[in-house]
Chain A
Amino acid sequence: MLLPLVLALHAAVAVLLPPLVRLLGARAFLVAALPPAVSAVWVLVQSPSIVSGAPAVSSVAWVPALGITFDFRVDALSLAMVLLVSGVGAAIFCYSAGYFHAGERGLGRLAAVLVLFSGAMLGVVTTDNLFALYVFWELTSVTSFLLVGHDDRKEHARRAATQALVTTAGFGLLMLIGFVLLGAIGGTYRISELVADPPVDSPWLPLALVLVLAGAFAKSAQAPLHFWLPGAMVAPTPVSAYLHAAAMVKGGVYLVARLAPGFADVDPWRALVLGFGVATMIVGGWRALRQDDLKLLLAYGTVSQLGFLIVLGGAGTHVAAIALIGVLLGHGFFKSTLFLTVGVIDHQTGTRSISGLSGIGRRMPVLAVAATLAAASMAGLPPLLGFVGKEAGLEAFVPGHAGDLPPAVALAVLAGLVVGSVLTFAYSARFVWGAFADKATVSERRFKRPSPAFTAAPVALGALSLALGLLPFAVDPVAQSYAAPFPAEKPYHLALWHGFTPALGLTVLVVAAGAAMFLRRRSVARLQNAMPRWPDAEVGYHLFVHAVYGTALSVTRRTQSGSLPVYLGIILATLLALPGVRLAAALVSGETPLPGGADFRFWDSPLEAVVAVIVVVTAVGTVREHRRFAALILISALGFGIAGLFVLHGAPDLALTLVLVETLTTIILVFVLRRLPATFSVRPNGWAKRMTVLLCSAAGTFIAVSLWLMTAARTEEPISTGFTDLAEETGGRNLVNIILADFRALDTFGEIVVLATAAVAVASLVLLNRRDRVVDEPTEEDAEEEAEAEAEGAAAAAPGAGPAPAGGAPADGAAPTDTRGGERP
């Protein structure tokens, strides 16, 4: 099957696009239209067999050894989505060729990301695996982030992009948890198998569904998470038309509709889907009514329609499923037409504000007709596809026709849908009036007429709304095929005329009320302004983001003191807190006894005591000594003491080497110390110092005791037992030497390399000792910053002292500058 190849084609074209855009300018978008066009044609060719109930299936082995495959499955629902994603996508790419100017900044990136998005969205709607779905899903989130933030020099574009990403991807993580739960309780990650055989007995299923729905609702901008969608309108109009009307925001609807046949009857599903859907439809419609920016009007309209779609997709009844396909396709066509129309108006006149447009209808008649058709489809007027879908949608909730829905629920949902539809009619009318009407109060702008090629895409998509409305039997087989799993009381078909049904009566009511609302728009506006502003989840988003930054800052402030001793101290404290506490607990409970009885030896020879005392005394002395040379002498003595211990333990080679090394170290230390001040800086004796002593003693004791226990717990013979025989072959007599020079010769070679590297590094550090070169390195700015930091530190130490005067920078900051000045004649 071709589908994986089509997906690969998207990726390949995306890679080729940036150079093509440099070469051809915006015309390269015609090349970008190729992959979605191929995909749309492919799915149309397949459609007869798909709607007859034989999904197009393919799978590509990914990790065959683990049985992980990429499964693709195109059934009727996927078919409708592919038509939107790829069909509308191809039209929008063609439109983009006229919309963008060759000089547009980052156009190559935009084109490439848009094609990538198209491929990812195609993956979302065709994959049959939950994890693959998640990956494609988040790919659309990421590409959407890049597309919304296309104009990265504008701060509000970056903010909107971040907001869209955090909202959709954040809830996407919840969805992933839901997927994992679903797969774990269902025993498979194949969506088709899960839907066919849902694990309804599992107590985890409701939780899994709530999590999945959370992700789907965020993606499809359901209230109260809808705020990101109007924000995302800062994207270029073709991007908004594609991602935020036709394709991406339908992802959530798709997922809900995909799972509904299996899970609609599980308990919280219907309550959530119907509740949030109806609320979103009304909130979106209400907000759309008050927008002055045509694009924002459409954005809120999209929110409203997405609520409608979620209701239809999630209801899980036969008629609702049929209506879903009708509204899904209808919305995809009319909303993209309207967005592209706004794009044309904005492109030609430079504004998309209702209060700045007048007389557009007379100057762009063809576009006006196409957009009016699309708006009429949105409003649900015959003979358009939107009407066909909305009729079916209302019919689905007429009590008595609503399948297993309780009549009260059906009635409530129906009332909500009617209110939403009235609002939809009103804002559709407002859109047409705002975009095209002659307004007495607005002066006309001068603008160039758009070229026919530029308006071709919205006109074609608008015509499609009309054609499919007149020929609903072209869409009906798809809807029937999708709705087949739901039990049907009596057959229902998408059609313009069903007779005098309750739904038709409601449509008349909707039209009348909507028209009244539009005609009395001034009163409606007054009412809207009088209403208090509803609490908005956007406030919650900002609070959340602020809290995250605040927490990050305070955590950083507490953990990142910038002081090396503190960091090391934390490491030691962790060592004590985790394994240390465990060891102490094991010792106290007697789980791990200390070596005692026959195992306990105080020393191996009395001579050891003498050497050990020397070692301990010199070590403690080194710690306490503040004069450099005294400390140097003590640490050398310590080294020789260790060598003594080696001698006592039958390790003459070690002792020899250590004596040699200690001598060399001492000589080098003397050379270095000769140049340094005579004493170390002394820290005051305070509780901090006592704490440090305590911490270090505890850590040292912990390590020693663990070593004691571990060596006592040894059960195996040393592996060097067999070395004696092997040593015979080498002809040597000293086993340590044989190990170093024969058995582990490569290690020894590495050791030599380390020494050589250290020697080179030391030489370069020490020989490059011209003082003026060093002093030049820190710039003036650094010195100032350091001085400032010290001043701040002093101010912080003495609260209320106020900031140190700028002129009184500490002398250390200024000293190097003076020295340099003196040494450079």
Chain B
Amino acid sequence: MTAFQSIMNIVRRRSIHVCYVDAGSCNGCGIEVLACLAPRYDIGQYGIVIHNNPREADILLVAGAFTPGWDDKLRILWDKIPAPKAAIAIGNCPQSGSVFNRRGSYIDPPVSKHIPVYANVSGCPPRPTEIIAAILAQIPKIFPDFKAEP
């Protein structure tokens, strides 16, 4: 690894872009992710920006129990994110399907079958502080040995 690359890896830890995708949740996790932006929790102080653009994201937040509408689309969206990248599953639905995982439902959990998931945040829904803690815990793991391809 070149010196330039290692400096870049250190600097990029302070500027994390997060893309949020709802793959069939009840919206409860979505509003808790939105609440992270509030001045009380202030996710911006850690250099984290939440938006919905996969092309410039580093971390993908997935909520929901994977509905059939996302069958091919979530994989395409994951491939659009440039390396280095990580996916974090928010809530119980991406892990197990939660209350929706019953006979007759259309869902196909867990999300880790479809894209590689680095971390899970349990809760129905998890609190904003837990979501911020999960993102912050992943940041040092994404960048340490990343080597850009020429």
| Chains A and B form a bound pair | no
Chain B residues proximal to chain A, CB less than 8 Å: none
